[in-house]
Chains A and B, each alone.
Chain A
């Protein structure tokens, strides 16, 4: 626990930021630095771990312990760090290509194991560092350098994969909402287990405006819904719209004489059954829904690294073997005289 007070400046490194001007990564960096200043850890206990990509340059800009790994392997690297030293506050920074293409295997398995780390997924729906090829989250039909006639691949929805991998914490934010992102990150830190925070991130160079429908002044109120545990799911400029369940499906309704706030779904992030969380995760503008933001799912479960520590403690409490001399002499041995 922290014995010092910090400001976000304490987390800035002396390295020059090499992201393109206007890149969403810079805003996310700010949010992380602000969040860390408020969390209850000493600065030397943070380990910021990444793979390869524009977003993965992140550790260099943090004045913490950091490890810039190899493409796709941020999840494995962070898993090793946390399992080996559970006292550290581990932050995995990864892009949509890093986490979901080359690193897809590690992504699902770290979540399945529920390793107590925080995974910030910068989703720009494109490969930035390699200059604009489509990624596993690029939209169907998206024209990119490597899909000049449009992709013929269906995109992953990261949240859906998280649920599929039995994820316990999933939140979504967007790069320009620094305040909201900051508070989500603080909650992610408090959560025990793998906390996945997807941040929609604008790549000004290769996929500019990918999230315009969600972020533009004209449409943002209708196309964003910020969920809060225990609060009704309302959105719109004057919170005049809400979500209800109709049969097995979600539906958007307008508040009126016949539909009051009482009829609107109340967000329960702690519900263990993931069905509704999945439906919320999959809402999209093209389906006529607002996109869900905030902490969508947060369910308590034991974390892998804690279980490992416990198991070791249990075995050690019972075992007669205390050191390597004991091991070497264990089992069947004989003496030659």
Chain B
């Protein structure tokens, strides 16, 4: 019987299991293979805060979702295929499966004991069987069976069950196995028996899927818009680290990162620590305060310095950011936002540190704030943050979040030669005079006189400085002059920030507004609605302080303004303060999760329809 082949433009697959089941690896392999054969891909790993959360429980479920196909801007809302390695994984994810979608379960772990651990009843499965296409495969035992000849012990054999399921899913989507096979050959070059077992399990899963008829078969149309060139997968944290390093190389400065581990920002530190090959220095400090303060020290001596953290860590850094503001030293502060307040939801995403980034300091303490909007453009915005810091002598706050940090997408590798120039403000040796607070009349940036340069000896610090000379000054009028300079210096960045753009249909009444990581979901929602015959426009902010110069012109074009964000309306409030002549409708979400395209479309439609 010839199988029916389902033709689609895009598909969402989710692998879910215990933290120890290897779901992240499985998902990564699938997404790499898909990217390799020309699909556009976006991924979103979702894992518990505990390293070894109790096995079999809903709290311990680790998931990896990926969305691939023709034009992909987000990791997808609802899955076409869910792999559930145990009842807890099914329970946690069933609501994210499309009606009639396919669910692959490992029946070997759907035991009474595991149902109990997951806190659900076996009976409920019966309903599921009716609403979905459930493939019941004894994955664990089949994996072991396929590996008997290897002589491995039971536990080692069972460990390859994720590869068995990956093989099955490869079959459903007609993907080649060779990329994953090659991966194992390299990864376990010194343990060929392990590489072999994984490859065998993968092939066994593939073959098993070929023979069972309940399996659907998809043909996914690959992207036809992907530019030619060399690609790699990129996640937001690595992109930030590399963007900073790229800026240091471009500016021809040594790089220094002072940081303290915190989820979901840690990987930035981890990545920089690896990069001794390009001379990067990473300083794992005793706390977040030391993280930023060591970086300020490094900046004082002429390094491109950065510090990376997440919400609670940013709170600890506030006082020191003020020090960088008053000493007018270049510094990049990366804040990978997560659910708050306090420890909040450490592994979940949120955009709720916007006000902290804008205002969370004592005194008048203006800092440029910019936000990345996709995992891979974290590279560009980190580079940009460093460029602004170095050219304008100011700390710059870069916002990303858990969604961007861990999400991945294929990324066309840029050439360093094509990256913009960066002209730092280090004053070359040889002048008779160095006035620390003399400013460039255009940007108001001061010059950077660095220790080791003869004749430029000077003192800076947290006390108010006299205009031009930089000596300590309590003169009342001077404080006002300096406060205004610091503010004006940041405000003038609107002259260098790119203009705000409008996507979608400009000839619409409604402008959908977002900032940062919501880009992928918003752009998809707006594109789909326009394709469906609605008229809607979208503007997305990456530059937040100051706002792009043309913001008002963009806002003026539309009757209605809908601001969508993963907080309780902080950006909407900020817009209201800066451009009070418009009414902003807020659409907020606070679940530690990104928007779904579905809910965005519903909200937008609702606004479009009751004019």
- Please list the residues of chain A having a beta carbon within 8 angstroms of any beta carbon in chain B: 13, 15, 42-47, 49-50, 52, 59-60, 62-70, 73, 75-85, 87-88, 105-106, 109, 308, 311-312, 315-316, 319, 321-329, 331-337
Contacts and interface: CB of A to CB of B under 8 A. Distances in A.
Q: Which 5 A-B pairs have the closest CB atoms?
A: A80-B297, A68-B461, A80-B294, A84-B298, A76-B293
Nearest to A331: B232
Given A79-B294, A79-B297, A334 B35 contact: yes
B586 interface: no
Contact of B303 (A84, A87, A321): A84
A106 B36 contact: no
Contacts of A322: 277-278
A327 B454 CA distance: 36
Nearest to A305: B281
Interface in B289-338: 289-290, 293-298, 300-303, 305, 319-320, 322-323, 327
Interface in B441-463: 451-463
Contacts of B183: 332
A159 B574 CA distance: 51
Contacts of A82: 297
B210 interface: no
B110 interface: no
B457 A76 contact: no
B229 A316 contact: no
B415 interface: yes
Nearest to A42: B454
B593 to A, nearest CB: 29
Given A15-B472, A319-B277, A323-B416, 17 more contacts: A63-B457, A64-B457, A65-B458, A66-B458, A69-B462, A80-B298, A106-B286, A316-B279, A321-B277, A324-B245, A325-B415, A329-B413, A332-B183, A332-B233, A333-B231, A333-B413, A334-B35
A62 B242 CA distance: 39
A315 B281 CA distance: 12
B59 interface: no
Interface of B: 32, 35-36, 38, 183, 226-233, 242, 245-246, 249, 254, 256, 258, 275-279, 281, 283, 285-287, 289-290, 293-298, 300-303, 305, 319-320, 322-323, 327, 413-416, 451-463, 471-472
B287 A80 contact: no
B152 to A, nearest CB: 27
Contact of B232 (A13, A68, A332): A332
Given A68-B461, A83-B281, A84-B301, A44 B455 contact: yes
Nearest to B294: A80
A62 B451 CA distance: 14
A119 to B, nearest CB: 14
Nearest to B186: A332
A66 B413 CA distance: 42
B302 A69 contact: no
B415 A85 contact: no
B324 to A, nearest CB: 10
Contact of B278 (A64, A88, A321): A321
Given A60-B472, A323-B416, A324-B416, A44 B290 contact: no
Nearest to A81: B297
B299 to A, nearest CB: 8
Nearest to A75: B290
A45 B452 contact: yes
Nearest to B222: A336
B453 A315 contact: no
A49 B294 CA distance: 12
A182 to B, nearest CB: 21
A329 B230 contact: yes
Contact of A73 (B227, B228, B230, B290): B290
B231 A335 contact: yes
Contacts of A84: 254, 256, 281, 297-298, 301-303, 305
A59 B472 CA distance: 11
B249 A324 contact: yes
Given A80-B283, A315-B276, A47 B301 contact: yes
A316 B280 CA distance: 11
Contact of B462 (A47, A49, A52): A52
B226 A312 contact: no
A336 B38 contact: yes
Contacts of A65: 451, 456-459
11 contacts: A66-B460, A80-B298, A85-B451, A85-B452, A312-B279, A316-B277, A324-B416, A325-B415, A325-B416, A327-B242, A334-B35
B290 A105 contact: yes
Contacts of A87: 452
Given A44-B453, A333-B232, A67 B226 contact: no
B242 A69 contact: no
B137 to A, nearest CB: 29
A79 B293 CA distance: 9
Given A76-B290, A81-B301, A84-B301, A44 B276 contact: no
A87 B254 CA distance: 14
Most B CB contacts (10 A, CB to CB) among A52, A75, A79, A322 go to: A79
A328 B412 CA distance: 10
Nearest to B38: A336
Given A68-B462, A325-B416, A47 B294 contact: no
Contacts of B35: 334
B4 to A, nearest CB: 30
B454 A44 contact: yes
B281 A312 contact: yes
Contact of B460 (A68, A79, A85): A68
A88 B452 contact: yes
Contacts of A50: 461
Given A80-B258, A84-B254, A69 B451 contact: no
Given A84-B281, A316-B277, A334-B231, A59 B298 contact: no
B230 A333 contact: yes
Contacts of A327: 242, 245, 275, 277-278
Nearest to B319: A70
Contacts of A311: 276
A62 to B, nearest CB: 8
B297 A70 contact: no
Contacts of B277: 315-316, 319, 321-322, 326-327
A300 to B, nearest CB: 23
Nearest to A15: B471
A116 B104 CA distance: 59
Given A76-B294, A105-B290, A325-B415, A60 B227 contact: no
Given A312-B279, A327-B242, A47 B461 contact: no
A100 B305 CA distance: 27
Contacts of B457: 43-44, 63-66
A67 B281 CA distance: 21
A85 B301 contact: yes
B294 A323 contact: no
A46 B301 CA distance: 11
A337 B412 CA distance: 12
A268 B367 CA distance: 53
A235 B450 CA distance: 47
B342 to A, nearest CB: 21
Contacts of B249: 323-324
A79 B451 contact: no
Contact of A67 (B36, B303, B454, B460): B460
A79 B461 contact: no
Given A69-B462, A324-B249, A327-B245, A76 B413 contact: no
B530 to A, nearest CB: 27
A45 B453 CA distance: 8
B120 to A, nearest CB: 39
Contacts of A62: 459
A329 B413 CA distance: 7
A328 B414 contact: yes
A336 B451 contact: no
